[in-house]
Each structure stands twice: as C-alpha cells, then as structure tokens.
Amino acid sequence: MEQYVIKGGIPLVGEVEIGGAKNAALAILSAAIMTDETVTIDNLPNVRDINVLLDAIREIGAQVQRVDAHTVKINGSFIRDFNVDNEFIRKIRASYYLIGAMLGKYKKAEVALPGGCNIGSRPIDLHMKGFRALGATVDIEHGMLIASAERLKGTHIYLDKVSVGATINIMMAASMAEGKTIIENAAKEPHVVDVANFLNSMGANIRGAGTDVIRIVGVEKLHKTEYSVIPDQIEAGTFMFAAAATKGDIMLKNVIPKHLEATTAKLLEIGCEVEEFDDAVRVVASKPLHHTQVTTLPYPGFPTDMQPQMAVVLGIATGTSTVTESIFENRFKYVDELTRMGANIKVESNIAIINGVDRYTGARVNAPDLRAGAALVIAGLAAEGITVVDDIYYIERGYEDFEHKLSSLGALIEKVSTEKEIKKFTLKVS
C-alpha cells in the first residue's frame, strides 16, 4: 500500500499543466468501439481508471494501441465477446458506458455491475429505463447487467433526475438506434458535450448537448475519427483550491475557464484573486480567506466532485461556512479525517457546518475516495507539520502524477510505501 507523505505550510507557486478529463475520456474510449474503423484519441489522462477500461476493451477483442502515455488508437472491428467482467472492471463506475456502446452497435451487452467510489448509493435505474425505452430487454443477473434488443428504436425519454452517466449512456445507444430520440432533463456537464462532439465526429447526429434537451437521429454506421479530450475541470479545480489553501499563486495551463466558473465564483467570494486567460487561469491567495455557503448541483452548479476540496479550504477560512451536498448522500466521509487534523466540522444530514480554524496540523489520515483523498492532500499541504495520506490508490484513479505536479509547485510531498520511507522523508524535511 502506498502513501503520500507531506510536509505542509509551503505556499504553492508556479505553473501546472492540466490533463484530459477522466470522466469524458472514460465515455469516449467506450464510444470508440462503436465503429469498425480505427479511432485515435489524445489528451487522455494516464490514470488507473482509464487503464482499467482500456484493458477491458482489449479483453473483449478490440485492438488497443497505446501510441504514447496520452494517445491511444482503438479498433473495434475484432470484438467478438459481449461480456465485460474482470475483478478490476467491477471496481470502476464507468464500465457502464460499455453497455450503451455495445448495445448501440451490437444490440447486446453484458457488463459487470459498476463499482466506483464509495460516495453513497449509486443506482443505475435511469440507464436501464433509457435502454428499455429504446426497446431493449434489460436484466440484472449474477451481478451482471444484461441488455439485448432485436432493434433499437428512437423514442422520447424523460430523466427523472439529472444524471451524467444515464445521459451519456442513452446518447450512445440512441446514436445507432432507428429514428429520433429526445432526452429531456439531460445532464449539461462539459463531458456530456465532449462525448456528443466525439460521437458527431464519428458521424453521429446529436444536437443540443449542453442544454437539457438532447436530440439524436440514429445512424447505421459510425466512422473513424481523431479526437482530443477536453481538459479536466476537476483536476483544475483541485489545483485552484490547493492555491487557496496554501496561500499560493498558481497558473493553470490547458484549461477551459468557462468550465471552471462555479469554482472561480466561490474562490472570488472567499477572497482569492482569479485571473482568466484564453486557456489558462491564475489563482492568487494573498489575503485572509473568509466563509461562504455552497451547495453542490448539476452543471453549471458547483460540482459535487469539488465539494471536499472546497470544504478543506473553508475549514481554514474565518467564520462559519456551510457545504450542502445534494448529489451523493455519503460524500462527507473525509470529515472525520479532517477533524483529526484540527478541523471543526459538524455534519447534519447532507450539510457540513464548518467553523474555520487558524490552521490544520499534520496527522495520519485515510483517503476515503478519489476527490476526498485529493482534498486531504490539500489539507496536508496547508497543515503545520507532517501528514501521511493512506490509501492513495483512490487518488491515483483520477489524478495523473499528482505528487510530481505538486512538487513542481514547491510542495514537499513524496509517494512512499514503507514506514522507513516515511521516517526518512520526515528527517529530510525537518
């Protein structure tokens, strides 16, 4: 088991390059098997969830050629197996995108029911409702979701809840259905738009992605394309909050500032300066930070994936803040860990009431999930003394080279795997 060991208290200063969006890339890689021609995808983040998905795509028979760490060529013409199951794929949520992709192309799919970060109950009823509305039979048997159809027929689908995954999955299957599909109350996240753009570049006919009504006219075949994944707004936001927590000055390169608006608005509110450029954002935290209120909401609201990072910053801002989590019910598991670092946070139902403290003090903490893990690293970077973050497996699911990017900004952080290495680091930095 690996850990991050951090000596906190150093303002992060410098430039950092943001990678491709993990959650867009997971859907795009799945959609890439929907043509028999070769698709080239670049700006992929080189992170664990992406590599697990690529292995699964390879296992069902597709050709996957890694051109470099961030570029892959996929050819789906050799797929003969419609059953996706291995011990790793069961751990990633995005395996469900292979259902929409295979159902659209082959009219059948069997995929192990998704795992993913433990942030609350994560049903897939809306995905199933969408596939059924398109004419598929969908069942869950022995831990597998099994979907099949003679033919898929375009239809009108209303999503009872805004769901990124269901919107994308239905969009993929409907791209190769007969006739027109309308998805109402669709998710508007940047990665929904990115997947639609990708599918359109393969010859799909999708209009309205980025609004709450998406219209899709099915096509018989999709063709080859070359596509670059959008920058990761959550990785970017994480570094923006790291700048705030450490009183730093970070220039983030390769971002789309529009996608960061909710994060930017909250940073301005608490007293940071944020400067926007065409494809860069600079965050400067030179003044004391103050409290605010935040509620997570579907895009363009404040993202649930930024909630723990924001809470860590509010934990050392003056006054009382509240953070309301409205998307996932179990996304405050990091609070106990943060309390061990000196935070004063009380959780009541889905609201965290945060009384700002002067500083965090380093402690040994566990990363409970991907974003909360990143948030605890931010707390460690801001804290006095040494912090050890255990279970960084979670963080590596979604952050590429996290420790190196942070080191390049002046952070004292190392990835270690033994107690001896922790001691060595502690001696070196003290």
- Residues marked as catalytic: 117
Instruction: Please name which of 370, 408, 410 lies closest in space to residue 389, comparing C-alpha atoms.
Output: 370
Q: Classify residue 113 by its DSSP letter.
A: P
Classify 182 as helix, strand or coil. strand
Subset of residues 158 to 197 that bind ligand EPZ, contact rule: CB under 6 A: 161, 163-166, 187
> What gap in Å lies between CA 6 and CA 379, rounded to an integer?
10
Q: In the bound complex, what is the minimum distance in angstroms from residue 373's beta carbon to ligand EPZ? A: 10
Q: In the bound complex, what is the minimum distance in angstroms from residue 9's beta carbon to ligand EPZ? A: 27
Q: In the bound complex, what is the minimum distance in angstroms from residue 371's beta carbon to ligand EPZ? A: 5
Q: In the bound complex, what is the minimum distance in angstroms from residue 94's beta carbon to ligand EPZ? A: 4
Which of residues 49 and 414 has its CB atom nearest to ligand EPZ in the complex?
Answer: 49
Binding mask 323-362 for ligand EPZ (x = CB under 6 A): ----xx----------------------------------
Q: How many residues bind ligand EPZ (CB under 6 A)?
A: 25
Identity of the residue numbered 144? M
Q: How far is CA 181 from the centre of its chain?
A: 27
H/E element, 338: helix 335-339
Which of residues 165 and 248 has its CB atom nearest to ligand EPZ in the complex?
Answer: 165
| Residues 340, 353 contacting (CB under 8 angstroms) | no
CA distance to 167, 240, 283, per residue, from 356 (Å): 38, 19, 21
> What gap in Å lies between CA 338 and CA 333, rounded to an integer?
9
305 binds ligand EPZ (CB under 6 A): yes
Binding mask 19-58 for ligand EPZ (x = CB under 6 A): ----x--x--------------------------------
Which of residues 362 and 398 has its CB atom nearest to ligand EPZ in the complex?
Answer: 398
Which of residues 26 and 317 has its CB atom nearest to ligand EPZ in the complex?
Answer: 26
| Residue nearest ligand EPZ by beta-carbon distance | 165
Instruction: Please name which of 409, 339, 350, 401 lies closest in space to residue 374, comparing C-alpha atoms.
Output: 401
CA distance to 10, 373, 390, per residue, from 337 (Å): 21, 10, 11
| Residues 182, 170 contacting (CB under 8 angstroms) | no
Question: Residue 292 corresponds to which tokens in the numbers above?
Answer: 């605010």
Which of 53, 111, 117, 343 is close enough to bind ligand EPZ by CB under 6 A?
117
Site residues (vs ligand EPZ, CB under 6 A): 23, 26, 93-94, 117, 119, 122-127, 161, 163-166, 187, 304-305, 327-328, 370-371, 398
